[in-house]
Amino acid sequence: MPKITFYGHACFCVEHNGLNILFDPFISGNDAAKDIDINTIPADFILISHGHQDHVLDVEAIARRTGAKIISGFEVINWFAKKGLEDHHPMNHGGAFEFDFGTVKLVNAVHSSSLPDGSYGGNPAGFVISLTDGPTFYYSGDTALTYDMKLIGEQYNIDFAFLCIGDNFTMGIDDAVRAAEFTGAYKIIGMHYDTFPPIKIDHDDAKRIFSNAGRNLLLLEIGETIEL
């Protein structure tokens, strides 16, 4: 069973078979995560959904310290490669690749993607990850609800999903419930909420709305680790 640690906003570490897979690190710029020291975060792989600052801010520092391999879309990887991060793996939409921890498929996200200096970030992505001898999960990245999510539900048995739920920049709660239905996920870990004023949510309302749809929404405390 993988262990999942929440580091705030859309940043999670999934530990499986001794490998740490970190998603979208944005910690040092997040007031709510001020008790997390980025120098203590383990990473063997860093997956980056798109180029926005609230998803890439701490990639360079963590990758340099840990030597983690960065995995993302082609343009985001090129941007980090120019900064001298040598262990990287570019992908693009629809493509899958088998890594040591499992297979990653880059899937569509409806959003935008520019890097912090304004460079073109390619198209934003989500990931479907099939852990070796473990569960399969979906990490939505920042996205609107899209019918493309139905393909994920048709092609995979999704054991759990990380879904953005904060509204304004991404799906809100009601659309995230439909995303859960489209992908077939019953266990949902919420992300991309509360960090900024326009994405503050009522936790009890959010959990109730998912529960009414027969789904379980988990909202982790920053620094909390669970097994799924």
Note the residues at the interface with Ni ion (CB under 5 A): 52, 142
The SS3 assignment for 130 reads: strand
Q: How far is the CB of 112 from Ni ion (least distance, A)?
A: 7
Distances 175 to 130, 191, 206 between C-alpha atoms, Å: 24, 14, 11
Nearer to Ni ion, 13 or 109 (CB): 109
Nearer to Mn ion, 23 or 182 (CB): 23
Nearer to Ni ion, 55 or 88 (CB): 55
Nearer to Mn ion, 54 or 167 (CB): 54
Within a 10 A sphere around the Cβ of 83, how many other Cβ atoms? 10
Q: Which does 159 bind (CB under 5 to 8 A by kind): Mn ion, Ni ion, none?
A: none
- Contacts with Mn ion by CB under 5 A lie at 52, 54, 142
Which position's Cβ is nearest Ni ion? 52
CA dist 165 and 143 (Å) reads 10
Q: How far is the CB of 91 from Ni ion (least distance, A)?
A: 18
Q: How far is the CB of 60 from Mn ion (least distance, A)?
A: 18
DSSP 170-222: S--HHHHHHHHHHHT-SEEEEES-SSSGGG---HHHHHHHHHHTT-EEE-PPT
